[in-house]
Chain A
């Protein structure tokens, strides 16, 4: 049985965990001090050696990303932290920042030093007021304590409701004051990112993982996880389970293990389908309970580790309704730049709504799949690809359920049965 390994979450249970006092009480900002005394290249090497990979979904090696920044180019460099967490099901960065914003600031200091940046921007989604307060207060306190303002500045930038800004180049455009639409690549951000300067864009959890790596060394970090997926990470369990929540565990833990640790599927019900890493990752079923939740394991099983957002749905859930809702989300969040995503999601929603309402035909299923084929890999960025994932994967596993909607002339499920408050007189 894999053991949970609280590192980021180690002190979240202290009432004042978000204050600078609490953070320093547990050795906070010592790693920054240590890193600042090191050669920047040595910091990059250490992070490379640790095996840390991007926790925002793509899993790109963090140290390697830092190493792409040209050195000695006399240009300003920037660190941009992606705190736009908006992928459906994903809910790790926000609680992290609410409970301990300082670990991110310390990570920013270390990363800035490594990539020779003087400025870090934290781009946080705009719909989380209290976390904005906590982060701004933490930045203010870090300045007062002298951690910031001596060569490294951190600015919090608050978004305003656009999922696409989680895409790193859209995020950069948004941060520059434009509509958050993805940019052409190349040039990649490492060469021409924010203000066309070399820029590293990292996820909150990736940067927050750095202080502990500096403090404890690459070997300590490497000791956790699997061969190619090193370290520990936050798994977010939600949905039809008895006890949802955050679980910090070595990469490679399985859903079965997490469910056993946490208390399992909603009592009296059975697992029907789940996402390993948010709505853009193809869904899994109970067949996949033992898939190692690391980058390679999930990929080999036909999905993606993504943000490790484990959304659990039991047998009361209509998969067509679930997929329709996700598709409506992608339609709502499509930036509009490219044709396949903009027009394709518009059409997908109409097809799925008809199917859910029992007005579809079997030919519509074929049309749906062909449409997904015309969107996947044809769109400008991954949003369009993501929109097709729930559709194609759900038809793969639950084709019969789609057909049942057609033959039944409507949805065979009772929506009340799937609510949290079923039977509570609501």
Chain B
């Protein structure tokens, strides 16, 4: 940890001395003393604006007094400054009371029906710093109410105090200036351009920081009073950014989630998916009892002992492998990792239920596991290189952090990508355009320094040689690598060793000392020595008759590019499925064991930094058990001991593993494949998932879905001309497996490439086409 030298300044506020760093605003220096100066427009993460005038205080510097009260949210402390707030200055007190009265003259008295009532800064500060009665007897300003500024955000203009927090957030933080202050004077109001709603991935933050009830979320509006809610600190399960969250529950039902405050990770922000996509837990038909396939082939309800016995028997009677999805908690993933080795005696385990490669597996073991690249490295970077990664779509808080540095100090961002994205455009990023599959060469020609950071997405695994090129570039430049998967559980699963070449803590399976380490903690005589198979190899081995049983937790077989093979393997093998809801896996399973959803259990995720984001159960008294607990029970039945009955026991055991300082897995260089030649109606397909799409965890939230980006197929101007296609024309993209019809958008993309969203409405590429990136497809005007 480096210590930065900061000039400290001593000022006197209401007679008390306080010593604060140079540049501190008076309003925040006062907070250090516990003196609360009322405010509305002030927000610590937005540029000072001094608009609401609620925070007026009297200031003198070295004996010279300002002639009138000053806005304490805009004035930095200076040596010799003496500040008198409302507590000691009658002038400041009257000024604040006067401003408060003015703020209220046009504010409706609808607190009893306002969602903000009970947690409203205007209500609270009117009580603490206002006067009991208004002297205003005139006509209040009224507007039509409310208006939808997007499908998920409503605006009650007459409640607005015009602090401009929402518009400033949208412009300064999200770079989505879709809401603005319109008109002027007393008619000034927040608004959108009538044909373009407030469709920002971050719009919920504007709702959260609104100091009155002017902006409300459609899904929470009129649902609850804040004092009826039970709040639990939580972590977001939607991606690897690692947002601190708060979950508010009433009578066992989650009613809303808010961004938590963690300066080192999400500051005070989150994305709309994290905020509003929580109904999936209740929107889907939950599994409520264990199911066991009976003699006539039907899945029927069974008791827990019966189901556990059946599971143990099936897993024990054949060679078995483990598939665990990327949304498992760190502790659950550790459970699967230990279960595979201890109960099943295999390293055949893979958490990557998506497109992946063995090059990636080596890269993760060699360069990612145990790595300590952090958000602060982005803050300090001289150059950030994006590889197979669209931060706004795939890890929105990383996007906000990049954007902050771009706005603050013009951080250089370079994206090696097949298509220029909206997010990279907002970052003023340099776009290095490549054909799908040809990213490696472009990476090799970058020059970075030891202060640079390479942000690598999970899609880097989709082109051969990319991760080898990243490793080589990092090696030659000393740039830091950060691997940012989409799913919240992948980094934790990697650290837990839920992958065929690693044991927990980054210990190579192939390293005898590493195996001894872990075997000692686990009380096992020995651990399997051979590197395990990856997901595709596991499915292939089932289909080849080499593996007979599968333990599957939270995996969607349609998330890969081998869904035919996967489904066939699930049909063929004895399958034990741990799931929250019926799925393609449970349909084919022999034993189905219902598990707790994220809100019903405690645990942690490791975000992309490897930072633990722990959470408690938000919904109390759920009868559902965590994967960890169930795995321990199956292991008992098998006759092996996993012995992880609780999350706490898992955490303790993980901590007891200690640090691995032995050799890492070495990475074998993989070369890029040559670019397939395309001509006529052939294109090379490329895609990524959008933040808001058909993802399972977004089910049941139509207001959120209403703000997703339009489904389009992107081609270059040159190819559009050749096809005789303009924006909005229909394109038919086909492979031998199937086709999709999409609206064309002519944009900056490699001439050989066509881009479509990977999993959006009308464009579920892996299901519809069986491919997602790098494959040749046929495109015609539909």
The chain A residues found within 8 Å of chain B, CB to CB, are: 162, 164, 179, 184, 331-340, 342-347, 350-351, 367, 371, 373-375, 377-380
Contact = CB atoms under 8 A, between A and B. Distances in A.
B184 interface: yes
A374 B48 CA distance: 22
A335 B185 contact: yes
A374 B96 CA distance: 9
Given A339-B99, A339-B103, A343-B103, A378 B185 contact: no
Contacts of B658: none
A347 B106 CA distance: 9
Interface string B68-110: 1100001000000000000000000011001101110110000
Contacts of A350: 138-139
B49 interface: yes
Contacts of A343: 102-103, 105-106, 186
7 contacts: A333-B185, A338-B53, A339-B53, A339-B102, A339-B162, A347-B105, A378-B68
Contacts of B49: 184
Contacts of A342: 162, 185-186, 188
B409 interface: no
Given A331-B186, A374-B98, A380 B106 contact: no
Contacts of B69: 377-378
A180 B688 CA distance: 41
Given A338-B52, A347-B105, A377-B69, 18 more contacts: A179-B181, A334-B186, A337-B51, A338-B51, A338-B53, A339-B51, A339-B53, A339-B103, A339-B162, A340-B99, A342-B185, A342-B188, A343-B102, A343-B103, A350-B139, A375-B98, A378-B95, A378-B98
Interface in B51-72: 51-54, 56, 67-69
A336 B183 CA distance: 9
B53 A340 contact: yes
Contacts of B185: 331-336, 342, 345
B196 interface: no
A162 B184 contact: yes
Given A334-B184, A334-B186, A346 B54 contact: no
A184 B103 contact: no
Interface in B25-51: 48-51
Interface in B129-178: 135-136, 138-139, 141, 161-162
Interface of B: 48-54, 56, 67-69, 74, 94-95, 98-99, 101-103, 105-106, 135-136, 138-139, 141, 161-162, 181, 183-188
A196 B675 CA distance: 48
B56 A378 contact: yes
A131 to B, nearest CB: 24
Contacts of A351: 138
B184 A335 contact: yes
Q: A-B pairs with the 7 shortest C-beta distances?
A: A374-B98, A336-B188, A377-B68, A350-B138, A343-B102, A334-B185, A346-B186
B138 A336 contact: no
Contacts of A164: 184
A392 B131 CA distance: 24
Contacts of B52: 338-339
A342 B67 CA distance: 22
Contacts of A344: 102
B138 A347 contact: yes
A179 B68 contact: no
A347 B74 contact: no
A333 B183 CA distance: 11
Contacts of B53: 338-340, 378-380
A333 B185 CA distance: 7
Contact of A346 (B67, B106, B184): B106
A335 B94 CA distance: 24
Contacts of A375: 98
A162 B105 CA distance: 25
Given A184-B50, A347-B105, A378 B188 contact: no
Most chain A C-beta atoms within 10 Å of own C-beta, residue among B56, B98, B106, B141:
B98
A375 B50 CA distance: 15
B51 A346 contact: no
B74 A184 contact: yes
Contacts of A336: 162, 181, 183-188
B478 to A, nearest CB: 33
Contacts of B181: 179, 336
A304 to B, nearest CB: 15
Nearest to A350: B138
A340 B106 contact: no
A404 B399 CA distance: 66
Contacts of B99: 339-340, 374, 378
A421 to B, nearest CB: 32
Contacts of B68: 377-378
Most chain A C-beta atoms within 10 Å of own C-beta, residue among B54, B68, B141, B184:
B184
A346 to B, nearest CB: 4
A351 B53 CA distance: 22
A351 B50 CA distance: 27
A343 B67 CA distance: 23
B98 A380 contact: no
A342 B141 CA distance: 12
A184 B135 contact: no
